[in-house]
């Protein structure tokens, strides 16, 4: 399959790129000016790179590639600022322009990545077409607005759109301030970790399992909204204790005397649709965390 990929240098995009090539697909990566292909990826007969933006992509070159599908991952993701960043509005506008041109040039299936942050927190697993959505952040509003716009475009062009709500990916290459990497760094320095939200429960999915889920949805031509999560929740306390156990420092984990309320205290996917495509997670939590720790050590030792 010929796949057009946006955001190929990001955490998800770069891992998807490697997997798609390994599975024998042909990929055209849209690189922003100044970007370069991820490590271990270079132009070949099955990997093509084009320079441009979502608003001004090199459509003649893309049209000659004749993509059968597109995975749209490009968006603002900087931890600490992405939820209310004005860039969300810009990516919403740019993504609509990009999708319109993709369908106009003959594209038949586009899968765009959304987020579990689109959901209102609940006490039970979140279901794609049933659970209430949130409008409390600019990020959630813009993501949901893009989903609706893409659905309208697909209806107008007679094409298919998939919308993948990503839960909590982790693994080598993640941003260092993410929970897992942050805990690993603190324990490596011998620092005590006081958990402020120990019972906060999230659905963590290993990056290779996530990219396999995404590719499975693309290969099947899945239309509609689908959760990219495991269906299993892990508390912050369980995560910290697991990492501390791997690193031999369980004594460094403590709970705050007065826990802080996490407004997104339970964010777990209902993975029925995803598992219905034949996908299942392959990487146990402990194995994934060991890989993440080993990657961190190899990077810091360079």
Q: What is the pLDDT of residues 232-262, one digit of tens each?
A: 999 999 999 999 999 999 999 999 999 998 8
Q: Say if CB 116 and CB 259 are below 8 A apart.
A: no
Q: Is 233 within 8 Å of 268 (Cβ atoms)?
A: yes
Report CA-CA distances (Å) from 171 to 13, 210, 291, 293. Answer: 13, 10, 7, 9
Taking only the tens place, the pLDDT of each residue in 18-29 is 999 999 999 999
Task: State the residue for tokens 């813009």.
Answer: 142
d(C-alpha 292, C-alpha 209), whole Å: 14
Helices (H), the chain: 11-22, 59-65, 87-104, 138-157, 179-188, 207-219, 236-246, 272-276, 285-300
Cα distances (Å, whole numbers) of residue 206 to 85, 166, 210, 299: 26, 11, 6, 19
pLDDT for the residue 148: 98
**Intervals of the chain under pLDDT 50:** 298-302
pLDDT of residue 299: 44
pLDDT of residue 42: 60
For the whole model, what pTM was predicted?
Answer: 0.94
Residues in the chain: 302
pLDDT at residue 41, rounded to an integer? 59
| Domains recognised in the chain with CATH numbers | 2-168+205-228 (3.40.50.720), 171-203+232-267+282-300 (3.90.25.10)
117 with 139: CB under 8 angstroms? yes
């Amino acid at each position: 399959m010929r796949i057009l990929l946006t955001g190929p240098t990001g955490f998800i995009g770069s891992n998807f790129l490697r997997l798609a090539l390994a599975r024998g697909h042909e990929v055209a990566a849209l690189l922003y000016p100044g970007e370069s292909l991820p490590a271990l990826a270079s132009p070949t007969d099955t990997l093509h790179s084009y320079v441009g933006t979502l608003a001004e992509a090199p459509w003649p070159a893309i049209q000659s590639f004749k993509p059968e599908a597109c995975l749209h991952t490009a968006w603002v993701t900087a931890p600490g600022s992405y939820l209310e960043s004005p860039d969300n509005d810009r990516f919403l506008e740019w993504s609509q322009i990009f999708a319109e041109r993709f369908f106009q040039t003959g594209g038949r299936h586009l899968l765009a990545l959304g987020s579990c942050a689109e959901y209102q927190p609940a006490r039970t697993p979140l279901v794609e077409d049933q659970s209430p959505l949130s409008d409390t952040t600019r990020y959630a509003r813009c993501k949901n607005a893009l989903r609706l716009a893409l659905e309208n475009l697909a209806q107008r062009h007679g094409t298919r759109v998939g919308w993948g709500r990503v839960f909590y990916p982790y693994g080598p290459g993640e941003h260092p301030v993410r929970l897992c990497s942050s805990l690993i760094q603190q324990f490596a320095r011998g620092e005590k970790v006081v958990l402020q939200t120990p019972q906060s429960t999230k659905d963590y999915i290993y990056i290779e399992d996530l990219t396999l889920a995404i590719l499975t949805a693309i290969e099947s031509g899945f239309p509609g909204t689908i959760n990219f999560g495991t269906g299993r929740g892990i508390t912050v306390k369980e995560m910290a204790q697991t990492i501390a156990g791997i690193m031999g420092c369980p004594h460094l984990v403590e709970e705050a005397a007065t826990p802080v309320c996490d407004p997104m205290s339970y964010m777990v996917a209902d993975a029925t649709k995803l598992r219905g495509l034949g996908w299942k997670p392959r990487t146990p939590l402990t194995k994934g965390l060991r890989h993440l720790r080993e990657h961190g050590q190899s990077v810091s030792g360079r």
